[in-house]
Structures are given as structure tokens and as C-alpha cells.
Amino acid sequence: MSEMKDWPGSLSINAWNGNDRPVSGPVNDARLWGLRSELPQSPKYLYAHETTDMSDWRDERVGWGLVLPDTEALTPADKARAVDAPGPIQELLAERGNAPVLRYVKASPNRFGTLLRYLRDGQVFQPDIAGSEFGVAADRIPHYLLICGSPDEIPWDLQYALNARFAVGRLDLDESGLASYVAALRNDWNGSSSKQASAMVWATDHGGSDMSRTMRLYVAKPLWELISADRDVGPNSVLIDKDNGGATSGALLETLPTRKPGLVATTSHGVTFPLEDTQAMAANLGLLVDDDGAFASPEKILAAWEPDGAIWYAHACCSAGSRSGTIYDDLVVADSPIGRVLRGVAELGSLTAPLPKALLGAKKPLRAFVGHVEPTFDWTIRQPETRQALTGGIKAALWDSLFRKESCPVGRAFHSFYEPIGILAAQQVSLKEQYARTAKVSSQLLAAQLSARDRMSTVILGDPTVRLRF
């Protein structure tokens, strides 16, 4: 990539503040933000054997495990048995061979660097997230990890750190929702009505320089070109956008039950208003805004459609939830449209958005929901100087992995999307060293920062071992 000559005077995000004006605004000194903000160091990838099939979570060299909050109220043996986990999770754990239970210790100064592993004989291990080998052995960490708990109990930041190396999902559901989801997971959605070898792409476009157009052209359209060209999947799939009927809520509600797609991929703004009413904003957080500025509630979607084994990718601001404190602190001017949105969403605290909670907790639940906790910036979708698309990882995850003949688990499918985080972190180190030598800062530093953080804050909700079945 050639060095970018001009730093941005403003940026845009895919949030929706309730009016027809794009959420964009001036930045502060982006050079200083890029120099000051740290990215995680590139992790080590230590595989037990080069020939290990990382898609096989049942292999003890790969493994599946559960992540729960640590508690001092239990003995090590009880922690190992996860007696504090909800009933459906305990049933899942037993069915999966009393798989490893790892604990997040909120008070630990190294809470994002290690996890605790209690054994039933009382032994305690503290495997390192970056350096431990994969597997179910006591000093290892399973490659597939299911976080059970809200982001207030086990923060998004842990999931961000794990995403760089592991196949990670999260379930943040009430007892009824967990019972439905785990029951479907345990029987692998047997009898599902979803047509697994089909897809629906729904892409909004508000025109001009709006972020929705950028997402349609650089995320949805390239994905659709791959889907439509496939002789098996293409005829069973549908694109809904400005050139194909319009990406309206009505079209979404009509097409989901008639097409019953196995994969739903949507690009749009996500609801982030009213900023002055946190309760109302939390109720609608991240809902998908259509071409007309309207959005469908989870209740309307579930009244029209049973998710029943589909996988949903939602490229929209806060489609997965919110974080207490934005990772973009100090980048944008505080009183700009972006600054006000970021601050308002952060005031909600750390929570899971209502749409994925409703779909994953439905009577016939979704398999997995992949979405964003933070907004996507225009600089993370296309290279600002050359306009090269930077969304190859999304295509690789959704098409090459989920739709290949032997579809791999969703957590593993997004490995190609998360993998560049380590490369981007290494780029940041080199660019900061260049600044120390020459006092010159390339705007490539900002691009690396934004791209890495966008990938980090894209999360999987649901069990990471689920896959489309053909």
C-alpha cells in the first residue's frame, strides 16, 4: 500500500441519529490519536500438529470450552463443574464430555491476558491467551470458546482479545432463551425449515456520500456477485437493494418467511437515537435502518419469520451491542455528530443489542448472529487513496468458508477476517518506530488503527461451532 498523502478532515460512520443527514464529523489530530492508541500485539499461533483439522472442535487438540465469570463463592471443583451456570448450559457441557470450563477474573490485572482453568481435583491453571497451545489439556485453551454471560459480566474487551486467535461466540440470553437455543444446538437444528444453500442480501443506500452506499458497493455487492454466480446457491438466493425493489423493512419482512434463507446478510445504518433518552435508545439499539429511514422491531421480525437455523451477518453500527466507553475516544471532535453518537451509546453501558437477543432466544432460534459493537468508519471499508475494497475478509468468511462444500463452523469461518489484526498491530509498531526516527507520521497509521479496531469489535453471538448444513 502506498503512503497516503492526506489525513482526513472528517470521517463517517454507519450510525443513524434519526434524521436524513449522515453521521459524520471533523476529527481531532488523527496523527496523535494513531500514535497514542495501542493495538494488541500480534499473537503467536501455536498448533499442536500442522495436520490438525481446526474445523473439528471434537478433536482434543482443538477443543471446545466454556467461559464463565469467576466467583469466590465456589470451590475449585464446583467451578470446574460449572455449577453456577444456567441449567441448559450445564446440560450442554455434560453432553460435550464435561468440556473445559475457563474463568474470567474481573479483578485480575491480567484479565485480558490469561484465563483460569479449574480442575475437579482442585488444581488450578492459568493459561496464556496469546501463547498457549490449543486443546482440552489442563494447560491449554480450546480453540472454540463459548462465553456465557452479558458483556457487563464478561466484557467485550475479552472477546476482542480472544477474536485475534480463537473461534469465539457468546450467549447472553435469559433462561427461556437459553433453553430454546441449547435444545436446538444439541440436536443441530434437526428439521430446520431454513434453506441452508440459499442467501438473502439486503443492502440499503441513502445516496451520495452516505456510508450506506459505501457498504452496499463494497460489502453487499461483491458478496452478491459471488453468491449469484454459483449454480447451486445463486438460483435460491435474492438481492434486495435500490436496484432490486428497494431495501425497505417491508421487503425484509416479506422476503424472510417466503425465501427462508440459510444466510441473511444485511448492510445498513444501525439505530443510535434518541440520544437524550437512554432507555428508548437501548430498546432500539442497532436495529437496521431501511432506505426510507424506518426500521423493523425484533417483535415484527419474529411475528413474520422463524429464524430456525439461519445465520445472520449485520453490518450496522451497534448491531451486536454497545460498550461502556468507546474505543474511539479522542479521535473525533466531541461535539460533532459522530462524537455525540459515540458518547451517547457509551452511556448505555455494555450490553447486547435487542435484535440478536430476540433471534437467538426465539422458539426456533437463529444459529448465529455476527455484528458490530462499535461503528464502522468509511476508512475501514475502502482504501481512501486508491478506493480498493478492504472487505475481502468478510467475503472469505461468508462465502468461501460458510458456503464451501464442507462448510466450516462460523467461529472458524471468521478466522480470515480476524487474522489481519496481528498484521495491523505489527504495522502500527513499525509506523510508530518510523515516527520516532523521522518525526513523520503516515496516515496509514490511522487506517491500520481503524481497520484493526473494526475487526476486533465485530463479534459472533451464538455457539462458534455451528455451521450451515447442506
CATH number for the domain that contains residue 362: 3.40.50
pLDDT (tens digit, 9 = 90+) per residue, 110-165? Answer: 999 999 999 988 899 999 999 999 999 999 999 999 999 999 999 999 999 999 89
Give the domain-ending residue among 115, 148, 163: 163
Q: How confident is the model at residue 1 (pLDDT cuts 50, 70, 90)?
A: very low
Mean pLDDT of 182-199: 96
Are 196 and 149 contained in the same domain?
no
Determine, yes or no, domain membership for 375: yes
Give the domain-ending residue among 163, 181, 207: 163
Strands 167-171 and 144-148: parallel
- Cα separation, 374 vs 379, in Å, equals 14
Are 108 and 216 contained in the same domain?
no
CA angle (45, 51, 55) in 5-degree steps: 75
Are 237 and 282 contained in the same domain?
yes
Are 151 and 272 contained in the same domain?
no
Determine, yes or no, domain membership for 221: yes
Give yes or no for residue 349 having a pLDDT over 70. yes
**What is the torsional sign of CA 273, 275, 277, 281?**
positive
pLDDT (tens digit, 9 = 90+) per residue, 267-289? Answer: 999 999 999 999 999 999 999 99
Question: Looking at the 3D structure of the chain, how many domains does it have?
Answer: 2
At 439 the pLDDT is: 78
Give yes or no for residue 350 having a pLDDT over 90. yes
DSSP-derived letter for residue 236 is G
pTM of the predicted protein model: 0.89
Determine, yes or no, domain membership for 173: no
Q: Name which of 234, 236, 296, 309 is nearest 266 in CA terms.
A: 296
Q: How confident is the model at residue 430 (pLDDT cuts 50, 70, 90)?
A: confident
The pLDDT mean for the chain works out to 89
Determine, yes or no, domain membership for 311: yes
Determine, yes or no, domain membership for 343: yes
- Cα separation, 334 vs 440, in Å, equals 26
Are 147 and 260 contained in the same domain?
no
Q: How confident is the model at residue 31 (pLDDT cuts 50, 70, 90)?
A: low
Are 79 and 207 contained in the same domain?
no
- Cα separation, 220 vs 312, in Å, equals 13
Are 198 and 284 contained in the same domain?
yes
CA angle (142, 47, 398) in 5-degree steps: 70
Determine, yes or no, domain membership for 48: no
Higher pLDDT residue, 5 or 259? Answer: 259
- The CB-side HSE value for 158 (13 A sphere, CA atoms) comes to 31
Contact by Cβ (8 Å): 31, 7: yes
Domain limits at 259?
30-36+191-420+448-461
pLDDT (tens digit, 9 = 90+) per residue, 192-249? Answer: 999 999 999 999 999 988 999 999 999 999 999 999 999 999 999 999 999 999 999 9
Mean pLDDT of 13-41: 65
Are 233 and 284 contained in the same domain?
yes
Are 154 and 237 contained in the same domain?
no
Give yes or no for residue 356 having a pLDDT over 80. yes
Give yes or no for residue 48 having a pLDDT over 50. no
Q: How confident is the model at residue 46 (pLDDT cuts 50, 70, 90)?
A: very low
At 43 the pLDDT is: 45
Are 326 and 414 contained in the same domain?
yes
CA distances from 341 to 170, 418, 455 (A): 25, 26, 20
Determine, yes or no, domain membership for 25: no
Are 97 and 220 contained in the same domain?
no
Give the domain-ending residue among 148, 163, 178: 163
Are 239 and 347 contained in the same domain?
yes
Determine, yes or no, domain membership for 99: yes
Give yes or no for residue 105 having a pLDDT over 90. yes
Q: How confident is the model at residue 42 (pLDDT cuts 50, 70, 90)?
A: very low
DSSP-derived letter for residue 217 is I
Give yes or no for residue 41 having a pLDDT over 60. no
